Amino acid sequence: MIRITGGIFKGRFIYDVPGKRTRPTTSIVKQAVFNMVDVDGKSFLDLFCGSCAVLIEAISRGACCGYGVDISLKAIATCKNNAKLLEIEDKVTLYKANALSFVRSSGMGFDVIYIDPPYGLGIAQKVLKAMKEDILNPDGILIIEERRGEKITLPPFLKEEKVKIYGDTTIIVARRV
């Protein structure tokens, strides 16, 4: 079980994706992210959403809507169950899709995008390279969670604002310029 750390669902628990293939974001990292970024009233895209813990945390803290993308059927099913558990199905839209394909072809714009791929495989960099500028709304925020020491180069339409390290995790916050 995963605990929601803030907002209207603070202290509530949601389910994790069954099995060992998904790495949940720690409570310390979730709290740090939402202390750095205000999501109130914003649309929130969670790439590699897993259990939707970060997406649900965003809605708990005031995001108007959340979009989750994951290639795993187990992850999508877990997200649906978690949204139902908290009675927020109307605020959550899920896509069973490859994140690279999604960022290339979604045709949608988001206020906040959270990228948390499997660590150490260079996937975050591939997603950044595939991103089109218009997937992030003007003045939108991109958050990357990656293994500490992983090299990340931002595309020219993003400007790094903050970098924080928590154990083996690096959080990068960037804004569309």
Lowest-pLDDT range, 24-28, 61-65, 94-98, 167-171? 24-28
How confident is the model at residue 162, as a pLDDT?
95
Q: Give burial (CB, 10 Å; 0-12/13-18/19+) of 166.
A: middle
pLDDT (average), residues 37-55: 97
Residue 75: which of 56, 100, 49, 53 has the closest Cα?
49
Which pTM was predicted?
0.95
Which residue's structure tokens are 């595939």?
A: 130
The domain spans of the chain are 2-176
CATH code 3.40.50.300 for 2-176: no
Condensed to tens digits (0 to 9), the pLDDT of residues 163-173 reads 999 999 999 99
Q: Which residues fall within 8 angstroms of residue 144, CB to CB, at 6 or more apart?
A: 115, 116, 124, 128, 152, 170, 171, 172, 174
Which residues are CB-neighbours of 107 under 8 A, at least 6 positions away? none
